[in-house]
Structure formats: C-alpha cells, structure tokens
Structure 1
Amino acid sequence: MTLDRKFLLCGLAYAIAGMGLGIYMAASHDHTLFVAHAHILLVGFVVSFVYALIHKLWLVGAGGRVAGFQFYLHQLAALAMVVGLVLLYGGTVPEVTLEPLLGLASVSVLVAVLLMAWMVLRSRG
C-alpha cells in the first residue's frame, strides 16, 4: 500500500473518531473532552490528509526509509497525543503523570513535520 493511501486511511479513521466524539459531547452536553476532540481532528485527520496530498502530488513514489519512518512517527505520536489528552481531560490520569507522554508526542509530531518539509525540499516535484 502506498504512503499516500496509508495517510488517507489513517486520516479518515481519525475523522470518524473525532466526529464520533463530537456527537457524543453534543448528545451528553458534556464538552470536557473538546481539547482532545480538536486534536483528533487537526493532528489526526487534517495533518494526515495533508500528508496524503503531499505524497500524492509531490512525493510520488517516495517510499524510502525516511518516508516510512515519518509515517509511523506521525501516526504513533498523534495516537499517543490523542490518548493522553482523552485521559487528561477525562480526569482519568493526573496531569503530572501524562506530561512526559504529551511532551514526547508533541515533539514527535513536530519532528514528523520537519521530516516532511525536508522530503518536500529534496523532491524534484
């Protein structure tokens, strides 16, 4: 499976999860997870979708080690961030316990963006 398709499918999975959480919050009138909801949709769906477009339009056939590493780094970091935020804003785990996970996830998302920028700069497209 190509990386553009992998990013697209992961992005759509995040869109489903984010919209599901949004519907739950609206139905329950409990919006305590709105920060997690926003991150699911932005970091999970939107960024993954943008990466899918970049791969489809500018990085056609670029499936090397850096591209594969960048894919898994972003997906693992986004998932860790989303789970951490759900646990934090859901009141399940204290902030002091989650700070290292959320910090590492945030920096990892940034590194994934930097890797994408580097791949685009190096591309011939």
Structure 2
Amino acid sequence: MSEPIMLQILDELKSLRSDMTTVKSDVTALKNDMVTVKSDVTALKNDMITVKSDITSMQSNMNFMQADITSMQVDIRMIKETMATKEDIVDLPLIARAVLETNETRAELSAHTRSINILNARQLKMEADIEILKNR
C-alpha cells in the first residue's frame, strides 16, 4: 500500500479512536445520570410511602373528628330537648315568689327559735330557783 493511503487510514483510525473516546465519555456520563435517576426514583418512592402514611393518618384523624362531631350533635340534640320551654319560663315568677316566701318563713322560724330558746333558759333558771327555795 502506498504511504498516502496508509496515512489516510492512520488518520481515520485516529479519528475513530477520538470518536470512541468521546463515546466512552458519553456512556460514562449516561451511567452517572442513570445512577442519579435511580437515586431520585428511590427518594420519590420513599416520599410516596411517607405521603401514603400521612394520608392514612389524616383519614384516621378525620374519622375521630367525625365521631366527635356526631357526639356533639347528639349532645346538642339532648340540650335542645331539655331546654326550658315558654311554658317553663311562665312558671319562673311563681318559683321566685315561692323562694321568697320560703326565705321569709325561714326568718320567722329563726326568730321564733330564738324566743323559744330564751323561754327555755328562763324556765331552767326558774326551776333552779325553785329548787334552791325548796332546799332552804
């Protein structure tokens, strides 16, 4: 083979070697990118697991809140059922008057009790005086 052809083949081989180096570099970069993508996918999977767990927890909390709301509705219904009606409110002045009369009666009884205690004390003194006079 002639020298120019050999030089041309050598240039082509050098060009192929350069291209192969570039291809190897690109393949290495792609491998590194794939490792990064795999890492990102793993991180996303872990994030998804966390999100699913959070959603489950939120659903559980919502169930508890729904139970609390139902309980409060029952409580409100019971309060409404036991609330005073207009007829009950009409009786309030009568109840107030009865309480006042009871307080007045209590005051009178207290006064009478004091009087009875005074009379009892006097009677005991008189009995003691009579005993003293008898013994003389």
TM-score of the superposed pair, with normalisation by structure 1: 0.24
Point out which structure has higher relative CO (alpha carbons under 8 A, 6+ apart): 1
Instruction: Say which one has the larger Rg.
Output: 2
Greater fraction of residues in helix = 2
